[in-house]
Amino acid sequence: MWELSTHYLWWILALLLIAGELLLPGYFLLWIGLGAAAMGVVLWVDPTLGLLVQAVLFGLLAFASCVGYARWLRPRLERRVPGDERLNRRAEQLIGQRYELIEPIVNGRGKARVGDGQWLVSGPDLPLGTTVEVVAVEGATLQVRAAA
């Protein structure tokens, strides 16, 4: 019968774990599989390691690869562009912008031209044509103040 070196067993385990990641996606088995592959490399370099040492070292390598992913790689993959937090909230993207009133603000209510449309605004009473700055959004109403 043929004999299979121990490091090959670790590499086979690594392939099985990574294949399991394909069936059960979640980026967890992949990193444990990388730990098993690293264990195969360690055994290829030093094939005299005992079974207990292999098990402990595998646990440490798997843990280190999972932590490396969570602390180092994942934050770099999830880069956020400033302003993305408001991507699907159009009204909040208007905060800080300036617009002209197309209806005066009377009793706290009026309208402003925003792009090719008009939005309800609320704020202090101001005359028609005043430039206002959006300071907040409440539902579909822009909270405004007179622009400086």
Residue 3 pLDDT level (bands cut at 50, 70, 90): low
Instruction: With a cut of 60, say whether residue 112 has pLDDT above it.
Output: yes
SS3 of 25-77: CCCCHHHHHHHHHHHHHHHHHCCCCCHHHHHHHHHHHHHHHHHHHHHHHHHHH
Yes or no: say if 136 and 95 are a contact pair by the CB < 8 Å rule.
Answer: yes
pTM beyond 0.75:
no
Average pLDDT estimate for 108-127 = 92
Q: Tell me, what's the pLDDT at 14? A: 92
Q: Give the model confidence (pLDDT) of 21-78 as tens digits.
A: 888 877 788 889 999 999 999 999 998 888 899 999 999 999 999 899 888 888 788 7
**DSSP string covering 7-28:** HHHHHHHHHHHHHHHHHS-SSS
At CB < 8 A and 24+ separation, what contacts does 29-38 make?
A: 31/62, 31/65, 31/66, 31/68, 31/69, 32/62, 32/65, 32/66, 34/62, 34/65, 35/61, 35/62, 35/63, 35/64, 35/65, 35/66, 36/10, 36/11, 36/61, 36/62, 37/10, 37/11, 38/65
Average pLDDT estimate for 5-34 = 87
Residue labelled with tokens 């990641």: 21
Q: Tell me, what's the pLDDT at 82? A: 65
Q: Tell me, what's the pLDDT at 91? A: 75
Instruction: With a cut of 70, say whether residue 135 has pLDDT above it.
Output: yes
Average pLDDT estimate for 7-20 = 90
Residue 113 pLDDT level (bands cut at 50, 70, 90): very high
Question: Is residue 125 helix, strand or coil?
Answer: coil
Average pLDDT estimate for 6-24 = 89
Q: Give the model confidence (pLDDT) of 80-106 as tens digits.
A: 666 565 556 677 788 889 999 999 999
Count of CB atoms within 10 A of residue 23's CB? Answer: 7
